[in-house]
Structure 1
C-alpha cells in the first residue's frame, strides 16, 4: 500500500461549516464521510490515506452540512467541476486539491467560455420531446453542401458554458483550423439529458432500467434530423456523413453505424463503453458488416480503476479493432498515452480524428475523378 496525503491549501470563500470528505471512483462515488474525512486546520484541510499502488484515482471533495445535506466541489460559478485524477505510485506522495467553489443553484450560469460556441441552436420535435441541436459551420461559409458530422453529448461539444463538467471538446476551434487548411465541415451536436443511458445504450442494463432506447434515437436521427439538415443546408451523400461520440456515445455510434451502414460513411468511436449487458455489443456484431464504412476507434491508457485494468481495456480496444477489420473498409486504432475518460482527453484527440476523416474524403474524391 502507498501512503497519500490529500491537501486542500485553502477552502473556497464562504464555505459553510460541516464535514469535509473525499469520494471518487474508488468509493463508488458514495456520500458517506466515514473513513475519508479531512482534518481542517486554518484555511485548508488534510487527509492521510493508504491506497494500492497502481490505482487510477478520480476523486472529488464533498461537504456534509450539519443537516445532512451534501455539497460537492464545483467551479467558481456554482457549476460542476472536473474530477481530480491521480495515479498512485509505490512511494506515495502529496496530492494537492485546489477547490474553486461549491456547486449551487447558479449551476454554472455566467461561466465564461474559452472556445467557440455554436452558430445557432434548433429545438426539433423528437419522440422524447424537444431535442436541442447545436449547429456550427466555418467562418466564410454558409454551411451548405459541406461534409456533415453528427455528434452525441452536444452540450459538451463546443463551448464550456453548458458543458457537464466545465470542459468541452472545443470542436469548433478544431474544425475551424481544418477549414482554414481546406477541409471545412458542418457539425450538428445533439444535447442529451438524464436519459443518456437509455438513449445511447441499445442493450438492457441497470442504468437504463432495462429499457434501452438507442434504436428510437437512431431512427430519429435518420428520419428527423437528417431531413431537417438537408432542408436547411442541402443534401449530403451518406459517404460524406460521419457520426461520433464518446463513452456511451461511442457505443451508440458503433452500434448505429453497423445497424444501418447506408446512413453514415464514417464513425468516430471515442473511448467506447461496450460493457453493458456483459459486452452484448460484441455478440450483436456477429454477422454484421459495413463494407464501405471507415471507423476511427480510440482509447486512453488511463481509462479504468487501476493501471492493470487500464492495460486490459487497451487490449480489448485492440481486439475490438481487429474484430471490426474484416467488417468495414478501414479501422484506425489510436491509443493515447496519459489520457483519462474525460472531455479534456477527447478534445485532445478530436483534431486528429477530423484530419483523418476529412482528408480521407478528399483522397477518395480525388481517386474517383
Structure 2
C-alpha cells in the first residue's frame, strides 16, 4: 500500500462548521464520512490514508453539516468544480487540494467565460419539452453553406459559464482556427439536464430507470432539428454532416450513426461509455453496416479505476475500432496520453477531430461561392 496525505491548505472563506471528508470514484461517490474524514487544524485540514499503488483516483471534498446536509466543493461561483485526479505511485506522497468554494444556489451562473460563447440560442419544441440548441459559426460568415456538426452535452461545448463542471470543449475556439485555415463549419450543440442517462443511452439500465429514450432523441435530431437548421442555414447533405459527443454522448453518437447511416456522414465518438446493459451496444452493432460513414473513435489512457484497468480500456477501444473497420468507410482511433474522462481531455482532442473531419470532406458543389464576408 502507498501512503497518501491529502492536504487542504485553506478552507474557503465562510466555510460552515461540519465534518470534512473525501469521496470519489474509489468510494462510488458516496456521502458517508466514515473512514475518510479530515483532521482540521487552523485554516486547513489533512487526511492520511493508504491506497493501492496504480490506483487512478478522481476525488472531491464534501462537508457534512450538523443537520446531516452535505455540501460538495465547488468553484468560486458556487458551481460544480472538476474532480481532483491522482495517479497513486509506489512511494505515495502529498496531494494538495485547493478548494475555491462550495456549491450553492448560485450554481455557477456568474462564472466568467474563458472561451468563445455561441452566437445564438434556439429553444425548439421536442417530445421531452423545450430543447435548447446553442449555435456557432465563424467570424465573418453568416453560417450558410457550411458543413454541419451536431454535438451532445451542449452546455459544455463552447464556454465555461454554463458548463457542468466549469470546463468546456472550447469548441468555437478550435473551429474558428479551422475556419481561418480555410475549413469553416457550423456547430449546433444540444443541451441536456437530469435526463441525460435516458436521452443518451439506448439500452435499459439502472440510471435511466430501465426506460431508454435514445431512439426518441435521435428521431427528433434527424427530423425536427435538421429541418430547422436547413430552413435557417440552408440544407446540408448527409456526407457533410457530423454527429459527436463524449461518454454517453459517444455511445448515442455511435448508436445513432449505425442505426440510420443515411443521417450523418461522420461520427465523433469520444470516450464512449459502452458498458450499459452488459455492453449491449457491442451485441447490437453486430451485422450493422454504414459503408459511407467515417468514424473518429478515441479514449484517454487514464479512463478507469487503476492503471491496469485503463490499459485494458485502451485495448478494448482498439478492439472496437477493429470491429467497426469492416462495417464503415473509415475508422480513426486516437488515444489521449495522460487524458482522464473529462472536458479538459475532450477539448485537447477536439481540434484534431475537426481537422480530420473537415479535411476528409469532398468540396460541396458550388463551394467557390463562399458565404464568407457576406
Q: Which residue of 1 aligns with 2:344?
A: 344
Q: Cα distance, 1:172 vs. partner?
A: 0.2
Deviation of residue 363 (structure 1)?
7.2
Q: Give the match for residue 253 of structure 2.
A: 253
Counterpart secondary structure, 2:338: coil
- Secondary structure in 2 aligned to 1:161? coil
**Which structure 1 residue ranges, 4+ long, deviate > 3 Å from structure 2?**
362-366
TM-score w.r.t. structure 2 length? 0.97
Deviation of the 1:362 alpha carbon: 4.5
**1:353: how far off?**
0.1
Q: Tell me the SS of whatever aligns to 2:82.
A: coil
Partner residue of 1:46?
A: 46
CA distance, structure 2, for counterparts of residue 149 and residue 182 of structure 1: 16
- 1:130 is aligned to 130
Which residue in 2 is equivalent to 1:4?
Answer: 4
* CA distance in 2: counterparts of 1:96 and 1:363, whole angstroms: 51
| Equivalence map 1:51-200=2 (5 Å) | 51-200=51-200
Alpha-carbon distance between aligned partners in 2 of 1:25 and 1:212, rounded to the nearest angstrom:
25
Q: Distance in 2 between matches of 1:102 and 1:287?
A: 49
Aligned partner of 2:37 in structure 1 is 37
- Separation in structure 1 between the aligned mates of residue 45 and residue 189 of structure 2, nearest angstrom: 41
How many residue pairs get aligned? The number is: 366
Q: Which residue of 2 aligns with 1:202?
A: 202
Q: 1:191, 1:344 → 2: CA distance?
A: 18
Deviations 1:121-146 (A, max 9, x none): 00000000000000000000000110
| TM-score in terms of structure 1 length | 0.98
CA distance in 1, matches of 2:219, 2:155: 21
SS in structure 1 at match of 2:360: helix
- The Cα offsets for residues 275-331 of structure 1, whole Å up to 9 and x where unpaired, read as 001110011011100000000000000000000110110010000000000000000
Residues 58-101 of structure 1 show CA distances to partners (whole Å, capped at 9, x for unaligned) of 00000011111101000001000000000000100000000000
Name the SS of the counterpart of 1:361 in structure 2: coil
Mark the runs of 5 or more structure 1 residues left unpaired by the alignment: none
- Deviations along 1:311-366, whole A, 9 cap, x unmatched? 11001000000000000000000011100000000000000000000011157989
Q: CA deviation at 1:109?
A: 1.4
Tell me how far apart the structure 2 counterparts of residues 127 and 105 of structure 1 sit (CA, whole Å). Answer: 29
Match in the other structure for 2:358: 358
Q: Find the counterpart in structure 2 of residue 218 from structure 1.
A: 218
Secondary structure in structure 2 of the residue aligned to 1:198: helix
> Matches of 1:109 and 1:280 in 2, distance apart?
38
- Work out the CA distance in 2 between the residues paired with 1:163 and 1:320: 30
Counterpart Cα distance in 2 of 1:71 and 1:283? 41
Residues 163-216 of structure 1, C-alpha deviations (whole Å, 9 max, x = no match) = 000000000000000000000000000000100000000000010011100000
Secondary structure of 1:316's aligned partner: helix
1:300-319 pair list within 5 angstroms: 300-319=300-319
- Alignment correspondent of 1:325: 325
* Deviation sequence 1:220-248 (CA, Å, 0-9, x none): 00111000000000000000000000000
